Amino acid sequence: MKSLLCVFLLVLVLVEGCWKQEREALIALSWVNIGTDCCEWVGIECNTTTGRVTKIKLQSYNTGSLNYSDFAIFKDLTTLDLSGSGISNCTRTDQGLNNLEVLDLGFNLFYNAISILSCLDGLSSLKSLSLADTSVMVSFHDFQTVLETIPSKLLHLEVLDISYNNLSNEILPSLRGFKSLKELHLSVIGLDSDLHIQGKSML
Ligand SMILES: *[C@@H]1O[C@H](CO)[C@@H](O)[C@H](O)[C@H]1NC(C)=O
Ligand SMILES: *[C@@H]1O[C@H](CO)[C@@H](O)[C@H](O)[C@H]1NC(C)=O
Ligand SMILES: *[C@@H]1O[C@H](CO)[C@@H](O)[C@H](O)[C@H]1NC(C)=O
Ligand SMILES: *[C@@H]1O[C@H](CO)[C@@H](O)[C@H](O)[C@H]1NC(C)=O
């Protein structure tokens, strides 16, 4: 009888598939609620052992000011894809997102250095950051400021993507502070063709 109850409870957990609080938080982030298992929803990935959400690709295109506190409930979140979400700046009121390793901020509506940097506070575990196509409304000087400030905020950054920004060779000295970087993505950013990248010595 006891084992039957166990089997019943196990089936119940598997049918639910994803954590109730996480499902509700996703619905609050305006996910269309189709089915109880939020691990199956568009843009969501979960850890198959814990059933907790590990990856979110935001499905909004006009977010404006992003509130990181909305993501604090996702304790196992390691990847947050906020690309193309109409984000102009970020706020936060808590310490969540401690496990975040990959953040994509590409193709958003940032307007100066502070607006970009506001989205990089309190992400001490971050290893990979995309700022691809974020400079349309950001001045060259502000983009320099961003690149010069990131190393002091993200101490473990290994991958940086600044592709599809309108920059020039003059941006290169701003990359000197990146000590832990292993990969730098620079495609189509207006560097002169005579640029010589010599592995680590460039940084
Ligand atoms: C899933 O979570 C378990 C327990 O926290 C962890 O040991 C495991 O590495 C995770 N799996 C993946 C693929 O991240
Ligand atoms: C953040 O962006 C919103 C528009 O999306 C704007 O109303 C707000 O003033 C901005 N906040 C800061 C601190 O610049
Ligand atoms: C962000 O979300 C938290 C938690 O939901 C809330 O307390 C806080 O007021 C929000 N901040 C802004 C600026 O909306
Ligand atoms: C790129 O930047 C240069 C110099 O800042 C500017 O003259 C040019 O118009 C920009 N190009 C685009 C496509 O924004």
Q: How far is the CA of 92 from the centre of ligand 2 (A)?
A: 13
Q: How far is the CA of 49 from the centre of ligand 1 (A)?
A: 6
Is there a domain that residue 36 lies in?
Answer: no
Residue 79, domain CATH: 3.80.10
Q: How far is 124 from 50, CA to CA, in rounded Å?
A: 23
Q: Is the pLDDT of residue 4 over 80?
A: no
Q: How far is the CA of 202 from the centre of ligand 3 (A)?
A: 41
Is there a domain that residue 38 lies in?
Answer: no
What is the number of domains present in the chain? 1
Q: Does the CB atom of residue 91 touch ligand 3 within 6 A?
A: yes
pLDDT digits (tens, 9 = 90+) for 146-158: 999 999 999 999 9
Q: Please count the other Cβ atoms lying within 10 Å of the Cβ belonging to residue 108.
A: 26
Q: Is the pLDDT of residue 177 over 80?
A: yes
Q: Whole domain around residue 93: which residue ranges?
A: 58-202
- Taking phi over 0 as left and psi of -120 to 50 as alpha, with beta for the rest, 51 belongs to left
Mean residue pLDDT across the chain: 87
Identify whether the C-beta of residue 166 lies closer than 8 Å to the C-beta of residue 143: no
Is there a domain that residue 113 lies in?
Answer: yes
Q: Does the CB atom of residue 29 touch ligand 3 within 6 A?
A: no
Model pTM above 0.95: no
Q: Is the pLDDT of residue 162 over 90?
A: yes
Q: Is the dihedral of CA 18, 26, 43, 55 positive or negative?
A: negative
User: Quick one: pLDDT band at residue 50, thresholds 50, 70, 90?
Assistant: very high
Is there a domain that residue 25 lies in?
Answer: no
Q: How far is 77 from 16, CA to CA, in rounded Å?
A: 19
Mean pLDDT for 40-47 is: 95
Is there a domain that residue 40 lies in?
Answer: no
Q: How far is 146 from 157, CA to CA, in rounded Å?
A: 14
The whole-number pLDDT of residue 193 equals 60
Is there a domain that residue 35 lies in?
Answer: no
Q: How far is 166 from 122, CA to CA, in rounded Å?
A: 28
pLDDT digits (tens, 9 = 90+) for 52-62: 999 999 998 99
Q: Please give all residues whose beta carbon lies within 6 A of any atom in ligand 4, as ranges.
A: 140, 166
pLDDT digits (tens, 9 = 90+) for 58-114: 998 999 999 999 999 999 999 999 999 999 999 988 778 989 999 999 999 999 999
Is there a domain that residue 116 lies in?
Answer: yes
Is there a domain that residue 33 lies in?
Answer: no
The whole-number pLDDT of residue 201 equals 40
User: Quick one: pLDDT band at residue 36, thresholds 50, 70, 90?
Assistant: confident
Q: How far is 48 from 130, CA to CA, in rounded Å?
A: 27
